[in-house]
Amino acid sequence: MQAPIGIYEFRIDAYLTDFRGKATLPMIGGFMLQAATKHAEERGFGYSFMTAKKRAWVLSRMAIEIFEYPKNDSIFIIKTWVAVVNRLFTERYFSFENSEGKEIGFAKSLWASIDLVSRKPTNVLELDGLTSYIDNNKSCPIEGMTKIPVLKENYTKTGDFVVRYSDVDINKHLNSMKYIEHFVDIFDIDMFREKEIERFEINYVSEGRYGAKLDILEREEADSKFILEMKEGDTDVCSSRVIWK
């Protein structure tokens, strides 16, 4: 039996960094998905197992806190584990370390299992063996995934885009990390010169379909704290809270 906690090593190459020579938030999110995919597959409840049952894991919510962004030509280590399992969701946690073992960030995520035909949620507890990999000992000392307010007033439309080929995943829906990419791109580059994103929360509400035109709305809640929302017409697609330091 595999250990409950999976440990995965990544190298930060130049093409994965921004103009400061630091890994971008979408790139870190991509590494998280790779780690989660490998962890689940190695323990028997990953992509192969789920598709055989005509099911799929769907990322529902996520909170990421980064204290120190990994730099170009450095080693980035992700540890990931399943912390909670109930009928509707499983919570997966992450810790980020540098090559010396220093913890430089953490993340929490919420996943649902859906039926590939009906697209409706299925009972996570029906997945044999999943609960045997729960780890309650490893610490993930950041605030959990909080409620993000709906933007009904006092907001501005700050951008829009059409979902194209390079945006979509295997299901022809907007890739989980592309939501993050489009959200962080609404900030001016000068913001990144002066500050860094310390905490990023995202709530995936509905699937961004290929060809859909999506609007991005923004409201500054306080100094360096923003609420962002992605909509297709009147339909909420995704929301985010971004806190800078």
Report the amino acid identity of residue 16. Answer: L
With a cut of 90, say whether residue 170 has pLDDT above it. no
Q: For the domain that residue 98 is a member of, what is the CATH number?
A: 3.10.129.10
What span, in angstroms and rounded, lies between the C-alpha atoms of 16 and 23? 6
80 and 14 in a common domain? yes
Residue 192 lies inside a defined structural domain of this protein = yes
What span, in angstroms and rounded, lies between the C-alpha atoms of 228 and 218? 5
With a cut of 90, say whether residue 172 has pLDDT above it. no
214 and 161 in a common domain? yes
Residues 6+ apart with CB under 8 A from 159: 182, 185, 186, 215, 216
How many residues does the structure list for the chain? Answer: 245
35 and 83 in a common domain? yes
pLDDT of residue 211: 95
121 and 65 in a common domain? yes
- To the nearest 10 degrees (0 to 180), the angle between helices 176-184 and 25-42 is 170
In this prediction the pTM is 0.95
Least confident residue range of 4-8, 148-152, 168-172, 205-209: 168-172
68 and 14 in a common domain? yes
Counting beta carbons within 10 angstroms of the beta carbon of residue 152, is it exposed (0 to 12), middle (13 to 18) or buried (19 or more)?
exposed
